[in-house]
Structure 1
Amino acid sequence: MTTETLPQPAPAAAPRHQASTSLGGWLTRALINLFLGLWALVVIFPMVWLVYTSFKTDQEIFFNPWSLPTSLQWDNFVRAWVSAHIGDYFLNSLIVVLPSLVLILLLGSMAAYVLARFPFPGNRVIFYLFLSGMLFPVFLALVPLFFLVKNLGMLNSYVGLILVYVAYSLPFSVFFLTGFFKTLPSELHEAGIIDGANQYQVFFLIMLPLAQPGLVSIGIFNFLGMWNQYILPLVLMSDPARYLLTQGLAYMLHQQYYMNDWSGLFAAVTMVMVPTLITYVIFQGQIQKGITVGALKG
């Protein structure tokens, strides 16, 4: 007795719409990668060009702007640092930016912690007052700010500029850190209180270390903003001996129309750019971590 072999059904062909979908997804990813590559090139190339141009002579800058330097002119950096007083401007910027950053992180974290963890009458009002400070353009406050600082006797002083930097940066810092402190577990706060710690010990010994990613993120943002700030020092610091880096670069640029030391100017811009670039490269992981945690849990 023989059994007939039944014909096996042919494998079903993949639906045409699935193939088109996969092809569309591949094209989308390719276009996104191409765009990101072009954007990276647009951002990175000017910085690379600036760095190797700072090692050229003035003749090479004008006659061979895109070529590499024939020899490294380290004297450009010496002239910029000493003759153009970039070293003095660099020190002045550190004197203003570093204390401002410490005060911003300390005051901003304390205010954000209270607003995030302690409900009390007027809590939201205070928070929205800080938030409204982000909506107020600094240009509208330049004239009254100038007379306020002048009447306080702090014009052309580091202390006056530091206080202005702190007041200018606190709204965004409090807004950012308030959302970050809300993500921290309240069980640790309760455990610290049960173990006999007071509120100051809980904040400085438990909560503040846990908020390190957020503090690093907001610290880098404020550092870059204050380091590159130009309009506030221009209005409040008119003494050439106390110029900050941005003012010094603008002053050096105006001098080039008479001195023609463009290689020194490129060297000065490179020295100003490098600290901010190094700071971001070192802390980029913590910056991304702080932003991600605030976005996912805020």
Structure 2
Amino acid sequence: MKRLIFGDHQPTSRIALISLAMTALCLIWIYPFVWMLATSLKSNTEIFGNPGLIPESWAWENYARAWTEANMGRYFFNTLFVTVGSVVLVTFATSLMGYILGRFEFPGRTLLFVATVSTVFVPQGFTIIPVFELLSAMGLSTGLLGLTLATSGNAIVIFVVLFAGYFSQLPKELEEAARVEGVSQWQIFWYVMLPLAKPMVVTVLIMQVLNAWNDFLLPLVITLANPAIRTLSVGIYAFKGEQTIDWTGMAAAATISIIPVVLLFILLQRYFINGLAGAVKG
């Protein structure tokens, strides 16, 4: 009788407690973003005089000032160019390498895989100087194309591992049926295997967008010789002067830079979760 009376309420209470705890954690997690958004709509004097989140007067001109006077419009285009270019290069290169490592057995495969994964432990700061010297030797150190190539080579090992795990779980009968039809190995990859890895492609797309859009150290070094090709992350740093910091302009510029990636993740989050689940399963 006690189970009949209270049994249905215990799971509901447990779910409610978990939901409240998760809600509290989410509020803590998004507070910096809310604070940044509120600060971007305040004046510089109001930041310290009004500690609350709601501005007394909505200073929308901060966004116009950040977009025009601080060249955020140019930096936005530069970041978009580098991000789109690196996403195309990284997705193609890592999917092809992941396909080879995940589907084929060949001498030295394990050694190649271990050597590739071991590069994850090399700090980015150790590779910046060789990358910059390589770009200089190619005559690409002062242009967006060179910055795109440098960004494409940053942290792609994880994507190779994810693609290899995803491709390894796909049925071998698909390739065998395609070979019976006379399809070449390249066509099997491009027309059969890659479309099946759509969730993984979207996962890599999102992760590379975040990596390229938010990267700071590498673009900072490469754009020293040509400030015109600065990205948003480097351009935001310009709001910090020698004596003062333009907090409202920095907050407005940061909001401009973060909104596109937030919208992209919201639109593609279902594929992102499916891709990670498939890679882990493989």
Q: Normalization by structure 1: what TM-score? A: 0.84
- Cα 1:35–1:139 change in 2 (3 A) is farther
Q: What are structure 1's unaligned runs of at least 5 residues?
A: 1-10
Question: What is the CA distance between 1:67 and its match in structure 2?
Answer: 4.1
The question of whether the paired residues in 2 share the 8 Å contact of 1:104 and 1:169 is answered with no
**Counterpart in the other structure of 1:283:** 268
Residues 21-36 of structure 1 aligned to structure 2 (within 5 Å): 32-36=18-22
- For 1:169, what is the secondary structure of its paired residue? coil
2:251 is aligned, of 256, 259, 266, to 266
Instruction: Give yes or no for the alignment of 1:234 onto 2:220.
Output: yes
Quickly say closer, same or farther: Cα 1:261–1:231, change in 2 above 3 A: closer
- Over 3 Å counting, the alpha-carbon distance change for 1:53 and 1:114 in structure 2 is same
Displacement of 1:277 after TM fit? 1.0
1:104 to 71, 76, 90: 90
Deviations 1:240-275 (A, max 9, x none): 1111111100112237x45x6432222111101111
1:197 aligns with 2:183: yes
Post-superposition Cα deviations, 1:174-219, rounded to whole Å, max 9, x if no partner, equal 1111001112222122111112221122111111111000111111
Matched with 1:251 is 238
> Gaps (5+ residues) in structure 2?
none
- Mapping 1:1-298, distance limit 5 Å: 32-238=18-224, 239-254=226-241, 257-258=243-244, 261-295=246-280, 297-298=281-282
Report the secondary structure of 1:121's partner residue.
coil
The answer on whether the counterparts of 1:53 and 1:61 sit within 8 Å (CA) in structure 2 is yes
- Name the larger-Rg structure: 1
Contact 2:39 2:251 in 1 (8 A): yes
**Residue by residue, what CA displacement relative to the aligned partner does 1:132-181 show, whole Å, maximum 9, x if unpaired?**
12121112223333333333332222222222222223211111110011
Q: Normalized against structure 2, the TM-score is what?
A: 0.88
DSSP-derived class of the 2:42 partner: coil
State the one-letter code of the partner of 1:280.
F
Flag as ranges the 4+ runs of structure 1 deviating above 6 A: 25-31
Task: Note the alpha carbon deviations across 1:92-139, whole angstroms, 9 max, x for none.
Answer: 111211111100000111111111112111222222222112121112
**Aligned partners of 2:273 and 2:42: how far apart in 1?**
36
The size of the alignment, in residue pairs, is 277
Opposite residue 107 of structure 1, the aligned amino acid is A
